[in-house]
């Protein structure tokens, strides 16, 4: 077993909170809401940033609303009305709302794929929609039946098939899986990508994908959340792993400790305390700065920045090839 001492301290943290945090909160919204959090993110063709935010209304149900900004930090232009509402008449799986979108730009389709949680009587499932402009959406309906969430599409086919990362709840536990499809509608080839650890670990029992994996020459660099159950509730933290580019179910490296957890007032408080929950990121024009957008305390959206090079470097020092439990 490796020694768990960590020379990383506050001054050499991997993720740096933006001084403007939280960058979006309910008071910024053009209509009355309870909270805004867990946003998907992408760069648009003109280089501006789009966040597709989860909005919880004052009934407790969620929908999605787009916010656009030239610099990805402030000056947000928020759609005056909801951008994507649940449509339970045609999609009954959306009866209790739609949540936690992850956005992937798909060059082959010249469209953005939005994977989101649809919530209904059967529990949370994974739904998919395609869009060119975040104004009109082509819904594919539920593509992974309940209980399943935390999904994102990879940007291109692997071995001729589309690949979706997701987190089904099974009798084996809440692990990260990958599935394949010829047409985005019919899915199979299911494989476990990475298992939650057990016992005292920070990512014991329940893990899930954060934002879509980042393609690097070394592999798919992947932020994931781990949930530690405690006597006073759940602690949502963020960890790091690297997967093989052509065989994404093969975990090349997995970090031992979390790299980001709730520390500030807006992360430790809110409707659900002690939650940091990234669903989206963008890469700055320098090719190295990762802008990570995360829901804080299920109440607002915040931004943390990291260097891609430093993240990979950290994994080289703190990672082990340990996707599956046998290696943990
Ligand atoms: C998870 C998801 C997230 C939420 C988190 C903390 O299970 O439902 O949407 O942010 O719990 O409440």
If phi > 0 it is left, if psi is from -120 to 50 it is alpha, else beta; for residue 38 that is: left
Nearest-10 Cα torsion for 161, 278, 48, 158:
-10
Q: Which CATH class is domain 13-317?
A: mainly beta
Q: Is 150 in the pocket of ligand 1 (CB under 6 A)?
A: no
Angstrom distance (rounded) from CA 107 to CA 119: 29
Delimit the domains of the chain by residue range.
13-317
Q: How far is the CA of 3 from the centre of ligand 1 (A)?
A: 32
User: Measured from the CB, is residue 100 less than 6 Å from ligand 1?
Assistant: yes
**Cα 239 to ligand 1 centre (Å):** 16
Size (the chain), residues: 328
- Nearest in space to 64 (alpha carbons), one of 137, 132, 123: 137
Instruction: Report the pLDDT value the prediction gives residue 328, as an integer from 0 to 100.
Output: 37
Whether residue 93 has its Cβ less than 6 Å from ligand 1:
no
Kindly compute the dihedral angle of the four CA atoms of residues 118, 111, 308, 117, in this order, to the nearest 10 degrees.
Answer: 0
Q: Is 99 in the pocket of ligand 1 (CB under 6 A)?
A: yes
pLDDT confidence of residue 321: 84
Ligand 1 in contact with 267 (CB < 6 A)?
no
Q: How far apart are the first and last CA of the chain?
A: 9
| pLDDT confidence of residue 172 | 84
Strand partners, 42: 50
What pLDDT does 323 receive?
A: 54
Distance 325 CA to ligand 1 centre (A): 24
Ligand 1 site, residue 298, Cβ cutoff 6 A: yes
Gyration radius from the chain CA atoms: 18
Ligand 1 in reach of 295 Cβ (< 6 A)? yes
Residue to probe by mutation, ligand 1, list 298, 299, 300, 301, most atoms within 8 Å of CB: 298
pLDDT tens for the chain, residues 1 to 328? 444 444 444 446 999 999 999 999 999 999 999 999 999 999 999 999 999 999 999 999 999 999 999 999 999 999 999 999 999 999 999 999 999 999 999 999 999 999 999 999 999 999 999 999 999 999 999 999 999 999 999 999 999 999 999 999 998 899 999 999 999 999 999 999 999 999 999 999 999 999 999 999 999 999 999 999 999 999 999 999 999 999 999 999 999 999 999 999 999 999 999 999 999 999 999 999 999 999 999 999 999 999 999 999 999 999 988 655 544 3
Position in ligand 1 atom list of the atom nearest CA 54: 9
272 lines ligand 1 (CB under 6 A): yes
pTM: 0.95
CA of 277 relative to ligand 1 center, distance in Å: 8
- 3-class SS shares of the chain: helix, strand, coil, % to 5: 10, 50, 40
Cα separation, 201 vs 199, in Å, equals 6
Closest CA to 293 of 219, 215, 222, 210: 210
């Amino acid at each position: 077993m490796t020694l768990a001492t960590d020379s990383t301290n506050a001054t050499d943290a991997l993720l740096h909170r933006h001084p403007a945090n939280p960058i979006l909160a309910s008071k910024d919204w053009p209509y009355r809401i309870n909270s805004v959090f867990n946003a998907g993110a992408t760069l648009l063709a003109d280089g501006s940033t789009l966040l597709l935010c989860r909005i919880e209304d004052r009934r407790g149900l969620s929908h999605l609303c787009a916010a656009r900004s030239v610099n990805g930090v402030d000056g947000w232009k928020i759609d005056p009305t909801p951008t994507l509402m649940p449509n339970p008449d045609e999609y009954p799986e959306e009866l209790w709302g739609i949540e936690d979108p992850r956005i992937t730009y798909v060059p082959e389709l010249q469209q953005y794929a939005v994977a989101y949680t649809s919530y209904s009587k059967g529990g949370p499932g994974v739904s998919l929609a395609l869009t060119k402009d975040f104004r009109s959406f082509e819904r594919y309906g539920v593509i992974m039946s309940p209980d399943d969430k935390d999904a994102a599409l990879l940007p291109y086919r692997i071995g001729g098939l589309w690949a979706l990362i997701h987190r089904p709840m099974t009798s084996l536990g809440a692990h990260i899986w990958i599935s394949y499809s010829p047409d985005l509608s019919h899915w199979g080839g299911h494989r476990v990508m990475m298992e939650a650890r057990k016992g005292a670990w920070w990512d014991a029992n329940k893990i899930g994908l954060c934002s879509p994996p980042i393609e690097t020459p070394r592999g798919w660099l992947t932020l994931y959340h781990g949930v530690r159950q405690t006597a006073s509730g759940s602690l949502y933290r963020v960890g790091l792993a690297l997967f093989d580019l052509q065989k994404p179910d093969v975990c090349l490296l997995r970090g031992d400790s979390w790299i980001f957890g709730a520390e500030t007032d807006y992360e430790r408080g809110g409707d659900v305390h002690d939650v940091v929950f990234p669903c989206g990121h963008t890469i700055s024009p320098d090719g190295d700065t990762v802008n990570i957008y995360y829901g804080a305390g299920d109440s607002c959206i915040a931004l943390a920045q990291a260097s891609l090079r430093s993240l990979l470097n950290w994994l080289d020092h703190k990672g082990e090839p340990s996707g599956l439990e046998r290696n943990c």
